[in-house]
């Protein structure tokens, strides 16, 4: 197309437009001119187009097409911003949830006694997340907010030492921490030994066994704790007593006492005695195991014995011959008892007196008691009343009611409640005068 043709075409269009405008003055307000690109077809081949084709839409169709185009352009222009806004909102929700969860975790750790250093780290994490959340609300992405937060933290860290009067962090004072610790409580302990000097020491509350190990003392088989146990704890000022126990073997010589045998003989006058054989004690060597506690004998056991010599009994002969006066009659007379009562007797004999305290009845059927004696019926008939006495004691009147002895021997019944028991019993055998009462 030549310039002339473009000029003509333009002018023609202008004239047409002017005429159209004059014919319809309001066409500019109601009509829309749309420039379309040149379309080449077979029918228009070889033709010289007059420039861009204009399409004038009607009032309704033009408005609809323009609204669709404006809506499409608006959506295209705001699509990115809407997506970014949605991402910011979603990130904000996630950040708020993370901050809340972190706060709850920090609170639970503080309640559980988490160290102060961990609490400080959690506070810094909360502050960092709060800054990220604020920057995200201003339109920055999460990565940009994280980077800005890091830069801000680094700047604060770099500037803190430059503050006037700010002191550099120092290590904790070990002496101060040591001074804050409670001082241990010591208890005074005295250890008393039975075989050595006592020891004084202190403890902070340990067992007796541990304390003895600290002072270098170990219990053995010959030592024992007398007032505490080895596993007892010491919680106050205490005295620990350690005793000794030893065993020894001892051999000693002991004597076996001899016995006494009494024989009646008419070769001697009645009322007289004669030792015909001297008694000799036996000799025995005895071996003992002796226990000593704290140096004092507490027990001994007889382990063995060896007889060196046996005892020899003493033999005492008692005269039984009855003396008669020149007329050949037995002596008789009157005797006065301790209470002043006069007793007549037909004869007098000397007897060996012993005692017994068996229960039950006598051989004559009488019950035993303080008024009963046992006799040899051939010397003193049963049922005879006698009066017994010597220089040491006055037995009084007794009845011959029991048997079991022989010769000039009488066995007097008595027990610990009898008046003469305390005098008679220690010796056990006495020589007494027996008056045969009428």
DSSP state string for 396-410: EEEEEEE----SSEE
* Residue where a domain terminates, one of 248, 269, 285: 248
199 with 274, same domain: the answer is no
Up-side HSE of residue 286: CA atoms within 13 Å toward CB? Answer: 14
Residues 6+ apart with CB under 8 A from 109: 118, 119, 122
Domain of residue 243, CATH code: 3.10.20.90
Which of the pair, 46 or 435, is modelled with greater confidence?
435
Which of the pair, 46 or 240, is modelled with greater confidence?
240
Residue 42 has pLDDT above 80, yes or no: no
Do the strands 32-36 and 53-57 form a parallel or antiparallel pair, or are they unpaired? antiparallel
Is 119 part of any domain? yes
151 with 128, same domain: the answer is yes
410 with 430, same domain: the answer is yes
Q: Could you read off the pLDDT of 160-202 as tens digits, one per residue?
A: 544 444 455 556 566 666 556 778 888 999 999 998 899 999 9
Which structural domain range is residue 299 located in? 252-316
Residue 436 has pLDDT above 60, yes or no: yes
Is the pTM here over 0.85, yes or no?
no
Using CB atoms within 10 Å of the CB of residue 100, give its burial: 0 to 12 exposed, 13 to 18 middle, 19+ buried.
Answer: exposed
* Residue where a domain terminates, one of 248, 265, 295: 248
Q: How confident is the model at residue 128 (pLDDT cuts 50, 70, 90)?
A: low
- Mean pLDDT along residues 361-386: 92
* CA–CA distance, 20 with 115 (Å, rounded to integer): 90
Is 65 part of any domain? no
Is 171 part of any domain? no
For helices 59-111 and 116-137, angle between their N-to-C axes, nearest 10 degrees: 170
In the chain, the number of structural domains is: 4
Q: Could you read off the pLDDT of 299-322 as tens digits, one per residue?
A: 999 999 999 999 999 998 877 665
Using CB atoms within 10 Å of the CB of residue 347, give its burial: 0 to 12 exposed, 13 to 18 middle, 19+ buried.
Answer: middle
Domain of residue 355, CATH code: 2.40.40.10
Is 209 part of any domain? yes
Average pLDDT, the chain: 75
Residue 8 has pLDDT above 70, yes or no: no
* CA–CA distance, 244 with 294 (Å, rounded to integer): 5
Residue ranges in 112-173 assigned as alpha helix (H): 116-137, 142-159
Residues 6+ apart with CB under 8 A from 59: 30, 31
Domain of residue 272, CATH code: 2.20.230.10
- Mean pLDDT along residues 327-341: 70
Across 57-71, 319-333, 423-437, least confident range? 319-333
* CA–CA distance, 65 with 35 (Å, rounded to integer): 14
- Percentage of residues of the chain with pLDDT beyond 90: 32
347 with 417, same domain: the answer is yes
Do the strands 409-413 and 342-356 form a parallel or antiparallel pair, or are they unpaired? parallel
Q: How confident is the model at residue 21 (pLDDT cuts 50, 70, 90)?
A: very low
Residue 34 has pLDDT above 50, yes or no: no
């Amino acid at each position: 197309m030549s310039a002339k043709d473009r000029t003509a075409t333009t002018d023609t269009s202008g004239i047409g437009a002017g005429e159209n405008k004059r014919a319809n003055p309001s066409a500019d307000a109601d009509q829309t001119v749309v420039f379309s690109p040149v379309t080449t077809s077979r029918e228009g081949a070889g033709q010289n187009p007059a420039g861009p084709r204009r399409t004038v839409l009607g009032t309704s169709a033009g408005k609809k097409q323009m609204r669709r185009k404006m809506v499409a352009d608006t959506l295209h222009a705001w699509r990115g911003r809407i997506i970014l806004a949605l991402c910011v909102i979603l990130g904000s929700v996630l950040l708020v949830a993370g901050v809340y969860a972190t706060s709850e975790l920090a609170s639970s750790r503080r309640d559980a006694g988490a160290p102060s250093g961990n609490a400080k780290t959690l506070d810094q994490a909360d502050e960092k997340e709060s800054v990220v959340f604020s920057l995200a609300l201003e339109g920055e992405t999460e990565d940009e907010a994280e980077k800005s937060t890091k830069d801000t933290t680094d700047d604060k860290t770099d500037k803190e030492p430059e503050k006037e009067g700010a002191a550099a962090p120092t290590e904790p004072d070990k002496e101060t921490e040591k001074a804050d610790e409670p001082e241990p409580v010591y208890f005074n302990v005295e250890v008393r030994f039975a075989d050595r000097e006592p020891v004084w020491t202190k403890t902070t509350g340990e067992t007796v066994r541990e304390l003895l190990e600290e002072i270098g003392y170990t219990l053995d088989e010959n030592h024992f704790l007398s007032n505490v146990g080895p596993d007892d704890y010491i919680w106050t000022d205490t005295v620990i007593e350690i005793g000794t126990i030893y065993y020894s073997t001892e051999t000693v010589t002991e004597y076996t006492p001899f016995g006494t045998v009494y024989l009646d003989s008419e070769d001697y006058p009645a009322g007289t005695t004669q030792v015909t054989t001297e008694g000799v004690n036996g000799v025995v060597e005895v071996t003992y195991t002796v226990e000593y506690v704290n140096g004092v004998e507490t027990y001994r056991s007889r382990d063995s014995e060896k007889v060196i010599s046996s005892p020899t009994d003493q033999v005492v002969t008692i005269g039984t011959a009855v003396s008669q006066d020149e007329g050949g009659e037995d002596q008789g007379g009157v005797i006065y008892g301790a209470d002043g009562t006069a007793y007549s007797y037909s004869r007098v004999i000397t007897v060996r007196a012993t005692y017994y305290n068996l229960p039950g009845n006598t051989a004559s059927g009488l019950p035993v008691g303080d008024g009963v004696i046992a006799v040899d019926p051939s010397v003193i008939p049963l049922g005879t009343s006698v009066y017994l006495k010597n220089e040491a004691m006055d037995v009084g009147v007794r009845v011959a009611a029991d048997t079991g002895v022989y010769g000039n021997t009488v066995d007097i019944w008595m027990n610990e409640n009898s008046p003469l028991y305390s005098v008679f019993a220690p010796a056990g055998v006495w020589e007494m005068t027996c008056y045969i009462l009428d």
